[in-house]
Amino acid sequence: QKEVEQDPGPLSVPEGAIVSLNCTYSNSAFQYFMWYRQYSRKGPELLMYTYSSGNKEDGRFTAQVDKSSKYISLFIRDSQPSDSATYLCAMSPQGAQKLVFGQGTRLTINP
Amino acid sequence: DTGVSQNPRHKITKRGQNVTFRCDPISEHNRLYWYRQTLGQGPEFLTYFQNEAQLEKSRLLSDRFSAERPKGSFSTLEIQRTEQGDSAMYLCASSIRAANTEAFFGQGTRLTVV
């Protein structure tokens, strides 16, 4: 079993919809949680960074962490075609240097 | 451009040849990471430097792989005697001391071994 599980999709939604992306994890030591966006043939771009549990909002993006359920989410409001990309969750324990990534969810926003 | 820079962007090589990739991190970042990403998968950690010291290596980093960061600035990743299974995107990331897990990635080097 992988430490981080993420549904690879693909996920296709109409423009303007609210998108929900999720990851589950098994390592209770994870304390830092990140979401990256990756366009085709490009490097991952950091979107959101959260420490421990709670919510964080940045414009149209909201990240949620539920450590009791070992579950993290990224919500995208008013989705745009330019949001079409692969979204990767990543996490690490306190003091660790490496990130453990999910498989990535491929998202398409249809105009 | 003040982001992480990787060269070359693409590399095609014949099986058995050696290849070397370069990464230039964000200038004030003292931590540098190498990851490998295969098609349809998330990046997998390979190795980590703090300044010039290589502090952690993954089991994925076989004896054919070597990474250096000689002056604590740019880094190189060399693969000797390449195999078809080495075909992947090799990603470099960097971070600053105070936010060690907020890593910023370069565009990657896509390696194809034929």
Distance, CA of A82 to CA of A16 (rounded, Å): 12
**pLDDT for B4-29, tens place per residue?**
999 999 999 999 999 999 999 999 88
Interface check B107 vs A, CB under 8 A: yes
Distance, CA of B46 to CA of B23 (rounded, Å): 14
B106 with A99: Cβ contact below 8 A: no
Distance, CA of B41 to CA of B105 (rounded, Å): 16
Give B-chain residues touching A32 at CB under 8 angstroms. Answer: 101
From B40, B58, B100, residue closest to A8, measured CB to CB: B40
From A43, A49, A92, residue closest to B105, measured CB to CB: A43
Contacts of A13 (CB under 8 A, 6+ apart): A19, A79, A107, A108, A109, A110
From A49, A88, A99, residue closest to B45, measured CB to CB: A99
Work out the minimum CA distance from B59 to partner chain A, whole angstroms. 13
pLDDT of A3 reads 92
Nearest to A43 by CA among B48, B89, B34: B89
Alpha helices by DSSP H, chain A: none
A45 with B105: Cβ contact below 8 A: yes
Contacts of A23 (CB under 8 A, 6+ apart): A4, A5, A6, A71, A72, A73, A89, A91, A102
A42 with B108: Cβ contact below 8 A: yes
- The sign one gets for the Cα dihedral A77, A79, A82, A85 is positive
Q: Has residue A111 got a pLDDT over 90? A: yes
Work out the minimum CA distance from A40 to partner chain B, whole angstroms. 11
- Percent pLDDT > 90 in chain B is 80
Q: Has residue B97 got a pLDDT over 80? A: no
